[in-house]
Structure 1
Amino acid sequence: MTSLSILDYSPIDEESTPDQALRETTQLAKLADTLGYKRFWVSEHHHIPSVAGSSPQMLMMHLAANTTKIRIGSGGILLPNYSPYKVAENIRVLQALYPGRIDLGIGSGTGANRIATKALQAGKPRTDHREQTADLIGYLSGTLPPEHPYSNLIVSPNIDAVPDIWLLGAGGTSTEMAAEFGTALTFAHFARPGIGPETAGQYRESFIPSAFCSKPRVMIAVFVVVAETNERAEELAKAFDLWLYFVESLSSPPYYPSAETASQRGTSEREREKMIRNRSRVLIGDALSVKTQLDKLINQYNADEVLIMPHIAGFENRKTAIRLLADAFHLA
């Protein structure tokens, strides 16, 4: 059976606050732990007012301390913003404290606009993502080549453990690197749904076994809007439509709009056209309808795992969504 996991952005709901959003992420992780989800990942975004998740390593530490069985991970740590050596140390600390429960998802973007990216990388030399990824994997697996300038460095704490490593991408370089380095692949169906199955096939064909994976593993990440009925899911989806439009038009308000706000606000023809196109990136409906849609995607990708993104207006609605899907997939 394909396992089910969650990626949470820590959305800031209308009439809520950033600190409340982080507390709700904690509560959602604790609920997912009891429901039988395999992984709970958190994202890295910068200068997006409606999202509180900016520091996955710190949030992972908190979530691991507040859960018992579920794997905790990053979806992902955006490597251009960091030193690979420091990321390796952060992950090792997490592994030492929570053995067998830490996932490392690595992204190639910055999660920010141009100005925020400059601030994140102030004082850093220009870096190559492939080189950074190779260094990070080398630090964590102890496989840096002897000629590497930092080959003699110890990654503290110096423990004998390798994290579950996933490269995040939507085709192109990240997919090629996942195959080359022998890591698992998380494909961002929510970003580029049209090329996903073909990309997953290319990854499998090119995969080289490693200490991390003896065979290729594919997880698909997709937005979901799930409710008790298809009609209620469609109401909530209108809020998702509006949020995604705002974010991608760089006019994001400081909150995730409610279903009521979305229904009361009119939309222009141009906005509606964009929202209709974005619907290919999200699965909408009651739990059985969304399960049917997910099963279809799983078959198309031959996916090993699914990472749902319940980016839904209202914390109670997010809790309801993951309960309904857990029941539909018989997770418990």
Structure 2
Amino acid sequence: MVTYNILDYSLIDEGSDARKALLQTVELARLAEKLGYRRFWVSEHHHVRSVAGSSPEMLMMHLADSTEHIRIGSGGVMLPHYSPYKVAENFRVLEALHPNRIDLGIGRSPSYQLVNRALNESKGKRLSYEQQIEDIHHYLTGKVINHRFRDLTAMPVIDTSPEMWLLGTGQGSAEIAAQQGLSYAYAHLAKPGGGHEAVRHYKDHFRPNSMLSRPRVMISIFAVVAETSKESEMLAKALDLWLLTVESSTPPPYYPSVDTTLKRGFSALEKEKIKHNRKRIFIGTPEQVANGIQKTAEEYQADEVTIVPNVFGSKNRMKGISLLADALDMGQAE
């Protein structure tokens, strides 16, 4: 049976600010818990002025304190920026305070070169991504044999461990997840093509370990859901504009409203890019989007689907995940 999750970017809507965006993330998490979603993850984005979610661990602690049972996670921590030892200890603290509720999602997005330089300014030789992941596995479980820091213990010492997920968009990440026995989250929202082959490779080459005995697959998708097709299309146009501008040299400090988007319009070149981007997004009524999600999950043979409701307005995001929960027949949590 497929389970469903939410990933939130803490979008700063036009006319709003970062503090409101973070508080709206808390509201969305509480609603997701009530609706019966299994996990609520938050992202790590740097130097993206329309996104307030720059420090997932800090936000996760507040979210875990503000909810009761939904799993709280990172989607994900960009590991090349950090010390694996420090990441492991951060998540051990989270797990100690909220046992069996914490997910450590790991990614390696290079982000902006300026960001990477600032976060690694005083570092010398850098570890490979594969070594960093092996290090975290060692620090969380102590199960890696002949580790160079085998006598070093990540604190605090606790009886449970966060779940580890490796995020990726292709064969390389799938291979690492399989070799290291991690759950694998494929970013369909970033690369809708080629994912089936990556997931098959992961499943075929998975090596069980002390943390995970069988392969486990999640896919993540953008979803724009509204009561009518017309309304969902209007919201999708704002997402079209945000995707165009967030990757430009001069991204705006907010997520654009529908009104702003309609007044601006799109050039012929932009329309071609939008046509390509639309392959990354599920748009429509609750039934239409639910059917698309279920079909895609079946194609991937996924265990979980993580929904990213990147639409303008907190009320629209909350309404969208509510409508979708009903259409997916999730039922509300007790």
TM range (shorter): over 0.9
User: Mind listing any 5+ residue stretches in structure 2 that lack a counterpart?
Assistant: none
Quote the residue 2:260 is aligned against: 261
- 1:12-27 matches, within 5 Å, as 12-27=12-27
Once the two structures are TM-superposed, the CA of residue 299 in structure 1 deviates from its matched residue by 1.2
Quote the residue 1:296 is aligned against: 295
Decide whether the 8 Å contact of 2:78 with 2:109 is kept in 1. yes
Quote the residue 1:180 is aligned against: 179
Decide whether the 8 Å contact of 2:95 with 2:102 is kept in 1. yes
Once the two structures are TM-superposed, the CA of residue 162 in structure 1 deviates from its matched residue by 2.1
Distance 1:113 1:12 in 2: 20
Quote the residue 1:235 is aligned against: 234
Decide whether the 8 Å contact of 2:143 with 2:210 is kept in 1. no
Decide whether the 8 Å contact of 1:108 with 1:174 is kept in 2. no
Cα-to-partner distance string for 1:200-242 (whole Å, 9 max, x where unaligned): 1111001111122111110000111101111100000000000
Give 1:247's aligned amino acid. Answer: V
Distance 1:15 1:117 in 2: 30
Distance 1:16 1:121 in 2: 32
Quote the residue 2:102 is aligned against: 102
SS for the counterpart of 2:209 is coil
Decide whether the 8 Å contact of 1:9 with 1:51 is kept in 2. yes
Quote the residue 2:4 is aligned against: 4
* Identical-pair percentage: 52
Give 1:133's aligned amino acid. Answer: I
Cα-to-partner distance string for 1:6-36 (whole Å, 9 max, x where unaligned): 0100000000001110000011001111110
Distance 2:293 2:148 in 1: 46
Distance 2:329 2:80 in 1: 39
Distance 1:103 1:290 in 2: 26
Quote the residue 1:271 is aligned against: 270
Cα-to-partner distance string for 1:84-105 (whole Å, 9 max, x where unaligned): 0011101110111001100110
Quote the residue 1:28 is aligned against: 28
Once the two structures are TM-superposed, the CA of residue 49 in structure 1 deviates from its matched residue by 0.4
Cα-to-partner distance string for 1:257-291 (whole Å, 9 max, x where unaligned): 00111111121111111011100001000100000
Distance 1:149 1:290 in 2: 48
TM-score between both structures, scaled by the size of structure 2 = 0.97
Once the two structures are TM-superposed, the CA of residue 65 in structure 1 deviates from its matched residue by 0.1
Give 1:60's aligned amino acid. Answer: M
User: Mind listing any 5+ residue stretches in structure 1 that lack a counterpart?
Assistant: none
1:158 correspondence with 2:154: no
Quote the residue 1:220 is aligned against: 219
Distance 1:267 1:230 in 2: 21
- 1:120-139 matches, within 5 Å, as 120-125=119-124, 126-139=126-139
Aligned length: 330
Quote the residue 1:72 is aligned against: 72
Once the two structures are TM-superposed, the CA of residue 138 in structure 1 deviates from its matched residue by 1.0
Quote the residue 2:58 is aligned against: 58
Cα-to-partner distance string for 1:57-82 (whole Å, 9 max, x where unaligned): 01100000000010000000110111
- 1:289-328 matches, within 5 Å, as 289-328=288-327
SS for the counterpart of 2:250 is coil
Give 2:11's aligned amino acid. Answer: P
Distance 1:225 1:217 in 2: 26
SS for the counterpart of 1:193 is coil
Quote the residue 1:192 is aligned against: 191
Cα-to-partner distance string for 1:143-180 (whole Å, 9 max, x where unaligned): 2333x331101111111222211100011321111100
SS for the counterpart of 2:186 is strand
Distance 2:129 2:148 in 1: 18
Distance 1:29 1:238 in 2: 25
Quote the residue 1:249 is aligned against: 248
Q: Pick which of 235-244 and 202-211 moved more.
A: 202-211
Distance 2:159 2:173 in 1: 27
SS for the counterpart of 2:307 is strand
Give 1:28's aligned amino acid. Answer: L
Give 2:50's aligned amino acid. Answer: S
Cα-to-partner distance string for 1:101-142 (whole Å, 9 max, x where unaligned): 0011000124x3111211111112323111111101111111
1:90 correspondence with 2:90: yes
Give 2:37's aligned amino acid. Answer: Y
Moved >6 Å (runs of 4+): none
SS for the counterpart of 2:194 is helix
Decide whether the 8 Å contact of 1:89 with 1:155 is kept in 2. yes
Give 2:205's aligned amino acid. Answer: S
TM-score between both structures, scaled by the size of structure 1 = 0.98
Give 1:84's aligned amino acid. Answer: P
